[in-house]
Structure formats: structure tokens, C-alpha cells
Chains A and B, each alone.
Chain A
Amino acid sequence: MTQNAVEQVRESVDAIYRAESRRVLATLIRLLGDFDLAEEALHDAFTAALDQWAKEGVPKNPRAWLVSTGRFKAIDAMRRRARFDASRETLAGHLDSTIGDPTEVDDQGVEDDRLRLIFTCCHPALSPEACVALTLREVCGLTTEEIARAFLTVPPTLAQRIVRAKAKIRDARIPYQVPSSAELPDRLDTVLQVIYLVFNEGYSASSGASLTRSDLSSEAIRLGRLLLELLPEPEAIGLLALMLLQESRRTARTSPTGDVVLLEDQDRLLWNRDQIAEGKALLERALSSRRFGPYTLQAAIAAVHAEAPNAAATDWAQIVGLYGLLARVQPSPVVELNHAVAVAMRDGPGAGLVLIDAIIARGDLDVYHLAHSARADLCRRLGKQAEARAAYERALTLTQQEAERRFYERRLRELG
């Protein structure tokens, strides 16, 4: 075969890998009952594809070919190992006889497999860290190096986390299932939490030099789109809307020197209008369900900001109302804090300060730097210099994020 033709086959296989490998993996995990077996099978199937498609051409249904080939190769491999270990013989036989012709898996079946994979990777019996690592690896197909870099850790640590998660899935017998409708709302919550964790890590990195790591946020949005395709629940729609609306501000959030730019100071011309439009359309869809979950409400708040042509034109009354709703649906001190900040914008800094002081006095957000920086800002606006300084200094001790630290240091210098 000519060099050119070999190149073409390689390109086809690469393209199909990018488009289909996750779907193939999801189905192989179901058929083989094991993550590691399925990954091996996936690798073997694509290796075989490079070889056979060069000779026979690309098959009409590449995904079915890959699933079928992967499965047979896995069974073959198990049989070979069974010659050395009798206990594997039964497993190989079992795999061979289970389930019908996998090439008959239709589109709906494949989507079910992808949902199974997402719900398994985001199982509440796994720690949030493990869910994030496993989801990025198995659902998104990121390498352990890419994931490690994104979370500022080293590949062996990440790899170990994934190995342990897979071991727990196997040993505690976490089944490869889409939750029943009774369990779905809570289980969906966990999935959404994982996706939002990934987004937040990319949107506002918790430590380190850069304020944002855009790759992670893009990955989270991609995950959000996938989930929406498979499960168009209102909160899934709301989460995607929220992520797009927040992402739309990425460029405006940091100055060219990498410093924090507050919402009120951002150049709104830098906001991504396409993402805002898509976010708002999704929000409409979510709201039309009349079910107002926390992600949908947060998206609604983000949309109010997105609609204001400048900071002064922000409809703070609406935001106060939305935070009030959010506080009922998902009560938390952070929501209360944001509500207090919105009240300050609507009614003046004094009104907000009273609320924030009450929250901090309860001890709820004592180690949350944003509580102290919010307090500092209100004191500053009220001319209470000394209190503002003390609060910014406290905030400084509570964050490791360099851009945020520079911001607090700048505020302290401005206070003189």
C-alpha cells in the first residue's frame, strides 16, 4: 500500500478515535464488566483498525466494528491468561456468552452506555476528587498528565487516585447503571456537582499563578453539553447556562498583567456575546420547566449581570430577589453572603454590612476570604478605613491564589 494511502487510513482512524472512542469505551465497559479490560480492548481495537482498515477499507459502521473487535480481543486475551490461571477461564466463558450481538447496539443503546459511564464515574460512594479524576479520564478522555497538570499535582498521584477509584468500583461492586427514576434527582445532583467542580477549578483556580485555567472550563462545558444531550433535565440545562454565562466574562476577568478585575470594573465589550446568547436561551428553557433549582437560579443571576450594559445599570433588585429564592432552595452561608452584597448594592453599604457582620459573627464564614473582602469593601465605602484594612489583611491570610493576593495587597496600599 502506498505511503499516502497509509497516511489517509491513519487520519481516518485518528478522526474516528476523536469522535467515537468514548462511546466505544462506554459500551465495552458494559460488555466486559471492567474498566481496565475495556481500556485494553479499546486500545487493541484501534490498533487492529489501523492494520485491517488499511487492507479492507474503513467499515460502514466503524463504531460497531470497534466494539465487536474490542470484545473479541478481550475474550481472547482472557483465554490466554486463563491457561495460567484457572479462575479466569470461567470469566472468559461468561463474557463470551453474555448479551447479544453488540453490533446491534443502536444509538439509544450507546447513549445509555454513556449515561451509565457518567453516573458510575460520579457515584456518591467515590470522593469528589476521585469522581473528577475518573470523569475527566474515562468520559472526557484526558490523559493522566493533562489532568494532573490541570489540578497542579503530579501524574503518579492522579494515576493512583484513579486506580483506587476503579478498585472501589470493582470491590464494593458499584454497578454500571443509570439510576432509577426514584434515585435520579439526587444522583444527577452529584454529576452536576462534579461538572461544576471541574468548571470552577478552571474558572477560578484555587491556588497557583494563573487566575483561570481555561482548558478545564472548556472541558466542563463540553461535559455539560454531553449531559444535556443525554438527559435534558432542567438543572442540567441550568448548569450549562450558568457555565456559559460565567465563561463569557473570562477575558474581562483578568487584566493583561494577570490581575483580578472585579465585575463592576470589567470592560463589558470583552464579554462573549455568543456565549451570553446561548446561556440566556438555555436559561429560558430551564425556567420554563417551572422547577427552580440552584443552578438555574444562579444562571438567572448571571443573566441579570449579562444584560446590564454597564455596572451602574445592573438590576440589583432582581438579583436580591433571586438570591432570596436561592437561599430558600439551597440555604448556605455563601448564598447569604452574596445576598448581603446584593442588598448593599441595592440599599447602600450600611445595609449590607449589617448582614455580613451577622454571618461572620455566627462563625460561619470565618475562614472564607471572600466574606472578609466583601466586608472590607463595604467598610471602605463607608469610610471606615481601619476596619477595611483589618478585613483585607484577614482576607490575605486566607487565600493562596496569587492574583487574589495581589488584589488585596493593592487595596491595602490604596487605603494608605
Chain B
Amino acid sequence: MKYVCLGYIEEKKWETMPENERNAMIDECFAYDDVLRKHGYFVDGEALQSARNATTLRWKNGKVSITDGPYAETKEQLGGILVLEARDLNHAIQLMSKHPGVKAGPFEIRPAEDLTGMIRESEQRRSTIKGE
């Protein structure tokens, strides 16, 4: 089963870390990602640039409003996403508990929604419309 793991980080803390500490953390994280890949648990992953490089779109007053910055105005910001393949929640927790990144900031683990049924129904509806 797929679990999406959202890694959060307090950017200021990360940026003011001594370089050697930061590099050590980075090395540990990459090494662990490789371990996950080796076992087939790593489906996908992406690191995110700083939240200051984010842009947020909102629907407001009948049109799209664009603002600078991230959606969440929290101290901890999203730093990276990891899509995990695990047997069950305990397995996902075990795998991510050992991820060095958890020392840098919290991981939210959420099961991916299986959209197979929804996609099938939507395709049926859309093909019916096309057929008319």
C-alpha cells in the first residue's frame, strides 16, 4: 500500500545549522533513501526548494488569485515528499521512524487514496458525454 510521507522542517533552524552538521544530515538521508530503494519501498520522492520560492493560487471572487509564499503559514514548512510502498501502517511507521530526516523535522504519513473506482466512473461519464 502507498503511503505519502510529508517531511516538514523549520527552515530557519536548517539554514543556521553549521555546514558540517547539515552535510552529515543530508548524507544520512540520502543513504537511507538508497536503502529504501534497494528494498523496493521507495516509490518516488522529491525535495522541495525553500517555502519562500512557493506561489499559492486561490479561487477568490470568481477568479484565481495569486500570492507569493506557501499556503500554510506555519513555523515548520514542507521540505520534501516521499512516496513509500509498505505492507501496512506499522511497516510504514517502522520505515520512516528510522529515516534520519525525522530528527530534522516531523513526518506526516498518510495513506494514498485508491482512485481506481473513481477514475473508472469518471471515464464512463466522460465517454458518455463524448458519445452524444
Contact = CB atoms under 8 A, between A and B. Distances in A.
A173 B1 contact: yes
A171 interface: yes
Contacts of B91: 175
A179 interface: yes
B111 A174 contact: no
A403 B93 CA distance: 43
Interface in A170-189: 171-175, 177, 179, 183
A263 interface: no
A125 B110 CA distance: 11
A183 B110 CA distance: 20
Interface string B98-132: 00000000000011000000000000000000000
A90 to B, nearest CB: 14
A171 B90 CA distance: 13
B94 A174 contact: no
Nearest to B117: A87
Residue of B88, B90, B94 with highest tally of chain A CB at under 10 A: B90
B90 A172 contact: no
A179 B89 CA distance: 12
Nearest to B87: A175
A175 B94 contact: no
Q: Give the size range of B's interface with the partner.
A: 10 to 19
Contact of A179 (B88, B90, B110): B90
Given A172-B111, A173-B1, A183 B88 contact: no
A277 B2 CA distance: 52
Interface in B46-77: none
Contacts of B110: 172
Contacts of B89: 125, 172-175
A171 B93 CA distance: 15
Nearest to B1: A173
A173 B88 CA distance: 5
Nearest to A124: B93
A183 B89 CA distance: 13
A171 B87 contact: no
A124 to B, nearest CB: 8
A172 B111 CA distance: 6
Contacts of A177: 90
Nearest to A120: B90
A175 B90 contact: yes
Nearest to A171: B111
Interface in A149-200: 171-175, 177, 179, 183
Contacts of B88: 173-175
A173 B87 CA distance: 9
Contacts of B93: 125
B111 A173 contact: yes
A125 B1 CA distance: 17
A118 to B, nearest CB: 15
B95 to A, nearest CB: 12
A285 to B, nearest CB: 30
Nearest to A125: B89
A19 to B, nearest CB: 31
A260 to B, nearest CB: 41
A378 to B, nearest CB: 38
Residue of A172, A174, A179 with highest tally of chain B CB at under 10 A: A172
A114 to B, nearest CB: 18
A28 to B, nearest CB: 19
Contacts of A171: 111
Residue of B87, B88, B91, B110 with highest tally of chain A CB at under 10 A: B88
A179 B87 CA distance: 14
Contacts of A179: 90
A183 B94 contact: yes
Nearest to A179: B90
Interface string B76-87: 000000000001
Contacts of A183: 90, 94
A173 B93 CA distance: 12
Nearest to B93: A125
Nearest to A187: B90
B7 to A, nearest CB: 18
Question: 8 closest A-B pairs (Cβ-Cβ)?
Answer: A175-B88, A173-B88, A174-B89, A172-B111, A172-B89, A173-B89, A175-B90, A173-B1
Given A174-B89, A175-B88, 19 more contacts: A125-B89, A125-B93, A171-B111, A172-B89, A172-B111, A173-B1, A173-B88, A173-B89, A173-B111, A174-B88, A174-B90, A175-B87, A175-B89, A175-B90, A175-B91, A177-B90, A179-B90, A183-B90, A183-B94
Interface of B: 1, 87-91, 93-94, 110-111
22 contacts: A125-B89, A125-B93, A171-B111, A172-B89, A172-B110, A172-B111, A173-B1, A173-B88, A173-B89, A173-B111, A174-B88, A174-B89, A174-B90, A175-B87, A175-B88, A175-B89, A175-B90, A175-B91, A177-B90, A179-B90, A183-B90, A183-B94
Interface of A: 125, 171-175, 177, 179, 183
